[in-house]
Amino acid sequence: MQTSVSIRDLSLNFGHVKVLEHLNLDIKDGEFLVLLGPSGCGKSTLLNCIAGLLDLSDGEIHISGKNVTWKEPKDRGIGMVFQSYALYPQMSVERNLSFGLRVAGMKKEEVDKRIARAAEMLQIEPLLKRKPANLSGGQRQRVAIGRALVRDVDVFLFDEPLSNLDAKLRADLRVEIKRLHHRLKNTMIYVTHDQVEAMTLADRIAIMKGGVIQQLDNPHAIYNKPVNLFVAGFIGSPSMNFIDGTLAGRVVKADGIDVPVDRYDFAPETGNFSGDIVLGIRPEHVMVGEAAASQPVQFESELEIIEPMGSDTIGWTSFAGQTFKFRCDSEVPLEEGQKLRLGFDPARASMFDAQSSERI
């Protein structure tokens, strides 16, 4: 498939601070790529570079086969949606939508046609005459999306578009963005720090930390086969259990307990690893009570704290002397202080080299 956005060897410095360094990224035509990471990881900076709002220190950016490194934002074929909506406050919704088209000197009939189409798609027809101040947060963000929509661009850039909305609206608009992507089939690059948004929307997720892409893969692989400790700890809520231990042969020794890991899917190049490791088990992969009986690894532990979430319950126990969380159905009867039988399958676990924190 043709690439839509290619980033070659991109570096960006603010003075002596290196924000991005030799970053490479290829985004396929029509792909929904999410840049995910904690604040300050450079994801918004990268998006601003793609948009042409920041000058690069080094490297190239290609969009739709053209080198746009030195091009103005308007000549890059991009539309951008901001976290704070950035609607022009003194213009009506209609004029907000048409601003870019008027700047480009487009004919009135064509402008009206495009606005009508965008307004229909986003269901904002009744709002066209209003000023942004008279819109709710969700409506404002729709208008902001519409402003990118009318310009008929190849690539949509979203800079944390849902972060200012409340939880319910966020969920609604998330689905709507996905629907929009299905309908338009444009390339979309979406920056967020919310892993739920990333997992639900993305074709591929690029997890960033300190200006470096840690892992670029589809949500399934990111969740099940995180490449390092950072990714493993960042994705998943509650976060993954990390158990320090030593790997020798096909057995992990942790605080005197032997955990057989024959079923673990070792990476080919690290198959014979031995030494200090971190064993990562997702709380939702831990079985409780009778269900634990079928699991290859089983142990007993005392339940310290229960966190009922409504849909499910998170229990805090310990394993091999280290904190261990599990997640189970809220119908499972639990009591703090009770002895519990827990089990997990090393085939679904992750193991990391304790020194390099890379997956083995």
Partner 1 sequence: MSNPATISTNVAVDAVKDDLQLSTERGPRPKPFFTTNRIILYSILVVACLYYLFPLYVMIVTSFKTMPEIRFGNIFAPPVEFTGEAWAKAWASACTGLTCQGLSPGFWNSVKILIPSVIVSTSVAAVNGYALVNWRFKGSEIFFSILIFGSFIPYQVMIYPLVIITRELNIFGSIWAVILVHMVFGMPILTLLFRNYFASLPVELFKAARVDGAGFWRIFFEIMLPMSLPIIVVALILQVTGIWNDFLFGVVFAGTQNYPMTVQLNNIVNSAQGSPEYNVNMAATILTGLVPLVIYFISGRLFVRGIAAGAVKG
Q: Assess contact for 339 and 296: CB atoms under 8 A.
A: no
List the one residue from 74, 113, 129, 263 that touches partner 1 (CB under 8 A): 74
* Contact range with partner 1 by CB under 8 A, out of 134-142, 192-200, 212-220, 334-342: 134-142
Instruction: Please name every residue paired with 33 in a beta bridge, in sequence order, or none if there are none.
Output: 189, 204
Q: Is residue 210 at the binding interface for partner 1, with CB under 8 A as the rule?
A: no
Residue 325 near partner 1 by CB under 8 A: no
Residue 169 binds partner 1, judged by CB under 8 A: no
Of 84-92, 179-187, 249-257, 313-321, which part binds partner 1 (CB under 8 A)?
Answer: 84-92
Residue 133 sits in the site that holds partner 1 (CB under 8 A): yes
Q: How far is the C-alpha of 22 from the C-alpha of 4, rounded, in Å? A: 19
CA dist., res. 43 & res. 261, Å (int):
36
> Which residues, other chains included, contact 243 with Cβ-Cβ below 8 Å and sequence gap of 6+?
252, 254, 278, 279, 280, 281, 319, 320, 322, 324
- Token pair 């990476």 is found at 267
Kindly tell me which of 22 and 108 has the beta carbon lying closer to partner 1.
Answer: 108
Closest to partner 1 by CB, 54 vs 221, is 54
> Per rule CB under 8 A, is residue 134 in the interface with partner 1?
yes
Among 3, 6, 11, 48, binds partner 1 (CB under 8 A): 48
Taking residue 206's Cβ as centre, other Cβ atoms within 10 Å add up to: 24
What is the length of the chain? 360
Note whether 137 binds partner 1 by CB under 8 A.
yes
| Alpha carbon of residue 19 to chain centroid | 20
User: x-or-dash pattern for partner 1, window 298-317, by CB under 8 A?
Assistant: ----------x---------
Which amino acid would we find at residue 270?
T
Of the candidate residues 24, 67, 84, 270, the single one contacting partner 1 (CB under 8 A): 84
Instruction: Check: CB of residue 130 under 8 Å from CB of residue 93.
Output: yes
- The site for partner 1 (CB under 8 A) is made up of 48, 51-53, 72-74, 78-80, 82-90, 99-100, 103-104, 131-135, 137, 140, 144, 147, 151, 164, 308
